[in-house]
Amino acid sequence: MYKKLLSPVTTGSIALTNRVVMAPLTRSRAGQGDVPRALNVEYYQQRASAGLIVTEASQISRQGQGYAWTPGIYTDEQEAGWKQVVAAVHAKGGRIALQLWHVGRISHSLLQENGGAPVAPSALLAENSQSFVVLPDGTPANVPTEMPRALELTEMPGIVAQYRQAAQRAKRAGFDLVEVHAANGYLLQQFMSTNSNHRTDIYGGSLENRARLSLEAVDAAIAEMGADRVGVRISPHFVAHGILDTEADAMALYLAKEFSARGIAYLHVAEPDWAGGPLLSDAFRNQLRSVFKGTLIYCGNYSAAEAETLIEQGFGDAVAFGRPFIANPDLVTRFSQGAELNMPDRATFYGGDAKGYTDYPTL
């Protein structure tokens, strides 16, 4: 059953026991100070049979946060919390990557230091976008994102330094890899996209300029982890969070080529159709495969059978699963036995406690 999907693969310098990747999943269950806690340790350890776990996105600074109760990677306490998670996953023989996150304009002053405005490449509001906050009266709520301010050119080295320090902390915590989150309409994709970046300096205008911050963030992670322990997530043609990039294919292929030249471990492609974007074409997949020499991971609502076919056809080397991993801690075992999958409870996706988080039954 699913011979390819369940076969080992090496990504960068890390050997994976199978090609079933746990996708990054925001669950908003970090403890006080946005520190990973015992509940998070249990959740990840339950899913350690994945070939690779990519953690929920972890903000690299207070400025990079867009949702309440998401774990950070910029304080000693957060680093120590993640270290417990890594140790638990490793104790079960698993491999784990930390996803490094800056949300940019997908935020709100209630989450920012001293109630400041969120930051972005340009002062442009993300239409129809929400942030998850705790209101002054203590009530959690989804609220519209606020108007961001444009980052000053003098602030850019500081943003890159946040990625570097986060990678440094990830390395100390024992993570096998880090994944730079350059997808889903967050800061790095805001810089990439033609409609959200109206800058006229070295970070705007040409495709190469719009890609600059993503490459600097990746280089910062490489400086700490080594290229063979760095992955990147991109989402060409993503259309939520106010993103509409008229050069999506060209940007993805340019980045893939640059990443390949750096020798990074993997490229993780979040497919756009779940957010209302188009299906990725086989022609585009072939182009991506021809320019990127590392491990290619696709994520896009795949069944095990569809994942097996994708790998057999040579388009990708591994497939990431999101919601199936929420409801099936033993997803790999279920795939190997052709067993039925538990259905996830949407009402418990974000926030809360063990219910809908660590209480799904295994076989």
Which stretch of DSSP H or E encloses residue 45?
helix 38-46
Q: How far is CA 188 from CA 108, 126, 294, in A?
A: 18, 14, 21
Q: Which residue has tokens 């690299």?
A: 60
CB neighbour list of residue 11: distance below 8 Å, 6 or more residues apart: 52, 177, 231, 265, 266, 294, 295, 317, 318
Catalytic residue among 186, 254, 298, 357: 186
SS3 267: strand
Q: How big, in percent rounded to 5, are the helix, strand and coil portions of the chain? A: 35, 20, 45
Q: Is residue 186 among the annotated active site residues?
A: yes
Check residue 124 and give left, alpha or beta (phi > 0: left; psi -120 to 50: alpha): beta
Tokens of 253: 């292929």
Please say whether the beta carbons of 102 and 112 come within 8 A.
Answer: no
- Residue 227 per-residue DSSP state: G
Decide the pairing of beta strands 14-16 and 9-11.
antiparallel
| Dihedral (CA of 174, 179, 180, 186) sign | negative
Report DSSP state, residue 134: E
**Distance, CA of 133 to chain centre:** 20
Q: What residues contact residue 95 under an 8 Å CB cut-off, 6+ apart?
A: 14, 16, 51, 52, 53, 89, 176, 177
* DSSP element (H, E) containing 262: helix 248-262
Could you give the residue numbers annotated as active site?
186
